[in-house]
Amino acid sequence: MILFHVKTLESEMIGLHTVVIGVIGADVHAVGNKIIDHVLREHGFNVVNIGVLSSQEDFINAAIETDAEAVMVSSLYGHGEMDCKHMKENMIEAGLGHVKLYVGGNIVVGKQAFKSVEERFKKMGFDRVYPPGSDIEKAVEDLKKDLG
Amino acid sequence: MRPHLLVDFGSTYTKLTAVDLDDEEIIGTSRAMTTVKTDVLEGFNQAMEKLQNAHPEMGEIEGVSACSSAAGGLKMAAIGLVEELTAEAAKRACLGAGALVEEVYTFRLGKKEIKQLKNKPIDIILLAGGTDGGNSDVIIHNAKKLAEASLDVPIIVAGNKDAADEIDAIFSAATLEYHIVDNVMPKLKKLNVDPAKKIIRKIFIDKIIEAKGIKQAEEKTGQIIMPTPESVLMAAELLSKGHEDEVGFGELMVVDIGGATTDVHTIGEGYPKRTEVILKGLQEPFAKRTVEGDLGMRYSANALVGLVSPYEFQQYYDYEDKDYSEAQIEQSVEKRQENVDYLPESDEEKAFDQALARICADYSMSRHVGTVEVVYTPLGNMYYQTGKDLTDIKYVIGTGGVLINQPNSKEILREVNKKSNKKLELRPSDAEFLIDEHYIMAAMGLLSQKHPRLALKLLKRHLK
């Protein structure tokens, strides 16, 4: 308990980066979402977790109100590509063009070569794309790099 | 006998309720037209005279408490960032404090909005925006715009705490009346309306009462302590929760159908009842109030019938198989709107009033309760719930002139029930209906401030 408290204080002192996380679409996979939440907090991020079954609009509204610097979209059920369509455009429309946009999980239907998946998502405006089974620590490193 | 007097300066009537603190019973009630245009005490004195004539045994009044919704009630504007988030949280704070929300603005205020604020009779502005540590640009921009506009309206700031100092500097330089309180939405979707509600009430007591010309009533009644809708909400909360060893009724709802608006109050969490239902949207207040400005029996009768087609109107109207044409409906509505203290005499006119009341009950319920939406996922059907699930609510209490004066008022209240054509709305399904026959809800909310146990007892005894 005391350890946890110290950690919170420490993260407050270094100035928080706010990151919105959630699972997009009709996807109810909650476990990975909780892990990401936990790990990001451990690393001193201010995590705004909007949970499962979240729409693009939910991510965008949350990012506006909390002045988030990054949005991390998870998807496990294979329909991520459809759910993420035009997300970058919608964020630009909402004045969030500067916000980093990450996506990760089983984000496409079936087994596809990750390279082509990554290319597609980057074309859609995502800054970072993570294949299934990625270590969240990798994303943390990237976040620290991207947010400075 | 120790009589305590409870006064409600309403928009149409000034209502008095005398309670005996010794015998723990209601001595009597009376009412007279509210006389805000001349001297509000005229109406009060008339009602008092009536009460004393009917109960000469009453003797000297020991204490008085008063609430008011006279002279248009408490009108507020709510400003937030995103419509569904801080703007909604700000709106809920206003409603919970008993205000009518005239305008809700989102994102950056422009010339158009400032002009509207200048032209509308707004009593208080609530400025929110951003979670704590979240967006501060927009609320600061809006504060600057409000300062430039030099409105003569108190402003409550209840937004991102990081912006508080800068807004403090902006407003103090502009010599505005302002109050900075805790954020209405400190974290995403977490509602924190109590600090804002408290300051709204304080401004209402200190300022608004005077501005509306009701201040002189205070020499007779002592301080007018809150807006009437807030006291109704307090009575509902007391009746639901109970007091010390006197148990309450549990989850309940109050439907108040008035001349200008229909208010719905619910006390209860309204969480999803099943595991496959996922709650979405902003957190709901435990004591929730919604106000429908287009659902009223007189002032807003026109807007009310505009919501339904003549065919639909017929579904609510029940009198000797009579069909109403559009022109006839218009005529009947006009009569009510022009003559707001109109009381129907013929059965046909009474049935028309009932139809209006039914529409009020039905539509206000659609807008108050939560809804479910099916999501087809690879793991089976899941459901989103937005708002409160009120299917299990135990009591629905009806109040307001039309419900109290109707013999079949419970029939009207039944409109709030679950409906086959509104399946996705989480309406009450098996509630018991009670009527506030003696019009004591607001009075008991007032009484609960000093004598909660007695107020609770009287509510339990007199709602039937």
List pLDDT tens digits, range A135-147.
Answer: 999 999 999 999 9
Distances (CA, A) of B439 to B10, B107, B302, B351, B445: 12, 41, 26, 22, 12
Q: Domain ranges for chain B, please list them.
A: 3-70+212-222, 75-208, 252-435
Tell me if residue A146 is catalytic: no
Residue A4 predicted with pLDDT over 60: no
* Of residues B81, B185, B174, the one with CA closest to residue B132: B185
ipTM of the complex: 0.79
For chain B, what percent of residues have pLDDT higher than 90?
Answer: 71
Chain A nearest CA to B12, separation (Å):
41
Contact B61, B17 (CB under 8 A): no
The token pair that represents B390 in the structure block: 């009120």
Give me the residues of B, 166-195, that contact A with CB < 8 A. Answer: 185, 187-188
Tell me if residue A27 is catalytic: yes
pLDDT along chain B (464 residues), means of 10: 92 91 94 86 93 91 90 91 95 93 96 95 96 94 96 96 97 95 95 96 88 81 87 96 94 93 94 89 93 91 90 87 81 89 87 94 97 86 92 95 83 93 94 94 95 96 94
Contact flag A50-B188 (C-beta cutoff 8 Å): yes
Architecture of domain B3-70+212-222: 2-Layer Sandwich (3.30)
Give me the residues of B, 104-133, that contact A with CB < 8 A. Answer: 130-131, 133
Number of H helices, E strands in chain A: 7, 5
Residue A10 predicted with pLDDT over 60: no
**Would an 8 Å CB–CB cutoff place B374 in contact with chain A?**
no
DSSP three-state, residue A16: coil
Contact flag A52-B278 (C-beta cutoff 8 Å): yes
Q: Which amino acid is at B300?
A: S
User: At the fourth CATH level, which superfamily is domain A16-143?
Assistant: Cobalamin-binding domain (3.40.50.280)
* CATH for the B75-208 domain, from 3.40.50.720, 3.20.20.80, 3.40.50.261, 3.40.50.360: 3.40.50.261
Say what the pLDDT of residue A15 is: 60
* Of residues B18, B171, B89, B66, the one with CA closest to residue B445: B66
* Of residues B80, B78, B84, B77, the one with CA closest to residue B189: B84
Helix, strand, coil % over all residues of chain B, rounded to 5: 40, 25, 35
CB atoms within 10 A of CB B186: 19
Contact flag A77-B378 (C-beta cutoff 8 Å): yes
Residue A39 predicted with pLDDT over 90: yes
Which candidate in A17, A27, A37, A83 is catalytic? A27
Contact flag B379-A28 (C-beta cutoff 8 Å): yes
Contact flag A61-B135 (C-beta cutoff 8 Å): no
Whether the pTM exceeds 0.95: the reply is no
CB atoms within 10 A of CB B188: 23
Residue A24 predicted with pLDDT over 90: yes
Q: Domain ranges for chain A, please list them.
A: 16-143
Average pLDDT over residues A50-62: 94
